Amino acid sequence: MQLPKLKQKSKITPVNKQYLKDLDIGFRVLKVCDTQEAKPDIEHERYLYTVFMALEIKFSCKYEYKEYMGIRYFECKDDWIVLFCCMEESINDDFVQFVLEAKPRHFVFRSISYDYDRAIEIQKRISEHTKVRLIYGE
């Protein structure tokens, strides 16, 4: 995003108001993974930010670490649910259906945790606009 040029005595215009509204002045210090492969010794939150970058989700997006049927996941929201991200080693049909019924923009899970083709089959039936993606690794 290019910053608007303001003259010294300029007034706040609708364009400038929108820029100020969208301005993210907070910061987070992150050590981001240099690989797409999941490694068990790295915290799940680090992977969440790697997913944010891959999907071009703002770092200011609010997220919560939740649990459903013993399966932990991140739910990330702005005006609606943007992302469900699950780093568990195993998920099941009930969890996938639960996620897709929320109709997020993206659903990301580890490649070893569930059959991708099965997830796509459920996605087509429940939430065709949700993009299902994988994180590869052990």
Residue 20, pLDDT > 50, answer yes
Of 25-29, 49-53, 100-104, which range is least confident? 25-29
36-77: pLDDT as tens digits: 565 554 578 888 888 988 898 888 889 999 999 999 999 999
This prediction's pTM: 0.69
Distance of CA 106 to CAs 21, 23, 109, Å?
A: 25, 24, 10
Residue linked to tokens 């670490």: 65
